[in-house]
Structure 1
């Protein structure tokens, strides 16, 4: 098994940052990516580095989008670490939960069962919680519905994250 360490010494790996922005995709203009979602710009950013919300139609360059995503992640990483006193994770686990937090937000992370499972060192249960029904819905629509064209990417990403989580715990 890959060694777990105190999360105070971890930060999002470069490979995970690249995977995150690739999975988010780049949009030079703010749009609503999935019905019921907030406007996003760049690499899925819903807020600017200064904390102001993204508004429809705003424009961004790829370089500024990377800077915005990195600023957002850096803020969330500190909040994430603060939410897990005494917890230990390996790098792969840390990376995938930061990815989850980027997608769903730090508020949902704090209320998530994954957080409590990690604190309790229940790593398999934390992985399984990634697939709970509340994390496969957008605006009340179940994205795991076969053949849907509305938000299949949400479900695909959840399944991929779950598999990476299981694999990370087995290393």
Structure 2
């Protein structure tokens, strides 16, 4: 059942996790807002510097070497720590840990802590934890956008949140969200006995 799995508390960010993150995030020397409504990022998706200062749109450009340093710090100190802390001594495969860190990096620690992936991993239901990645396929908005459907309403029955299903074939809105989730799912399933 736990073949190849070790305590999550002892796992760190290795070269494979870093390389995967860099490939998925791409590189921007100057600060950008990667997705409408998101916070500014720089380098390979860093939202903060080592001292905790947030990236702003007025920050100066950085080099690829500096971007790599920020990515290592981001993955180890923020997202790796989040996953390790939330899983504690739960046994996980290194690949399962890597996918969890990547997810926390894309969606945030709060989303990871509230996810069914975390709950199912803690329960030892590893295959279902992998399958749960496929549920995270939506882009959301507080404004009605073309192609988005209402999914939350206020007390008066008026729509207040909209979402777009990124698994919609041929979409040009958020295809990367869905392909990244499929890649997480596939990698996670490959780690299953």
TM over 0.5: yes
> Where does the alignment leave 5 or more consecutive residues of structure 2 unmatched?
142-162
Quote how far apart the aligned CAs of 1:45 are.
1.3
CA-based RMSD of the aligned residues comes to: 1.7
Deviations 1:49-80 (A, max 9, x none): 22222222532211111111111111122232
Residues paired across the two proteins, number? 169
The answer to whether the 8 A contact 2:83-2:97 is kept is no
Greater helix share, structure number: 1
> Could you tell me which residue of structure 1 aligns to residue 71 of structure 2?
69
* Alignment gaps of 5+ in structure 1: none
Instruction: Tell me the distance in 2 between the aligned counterparts of 1:106 and 1:92.
Output: 18
Question: 2:153: which partner in 1?
Answer: none
Question: Which consecutive aligned stretches of 4+ in structure 1 deviate over 6 angstroms post-superposition?
Answer: none
Between the two structures, name the one with larger relative contact order (CA 8 Å, sep ≥ 6). 1
Name whichever structure is richer in strand by fraction: 2
Q: How far apart are the structure 1 equivalents of 2:62 and 2:166? A: 28
Q: Quick check: which has more Rg, 1 or 2?
A: 2
Query: Are 1:163 and 2:186 matched, yes or no?
Result: yes
Alpha-carbon separation, structure 1, partners of 2:171 and 2:76: 34
* Counterpart mapping for 1:8-157 below 5 A: 8-58=9-59, 59-76=61-78, 77-133=80-136, 135-139=137-141, 140-157=163-180
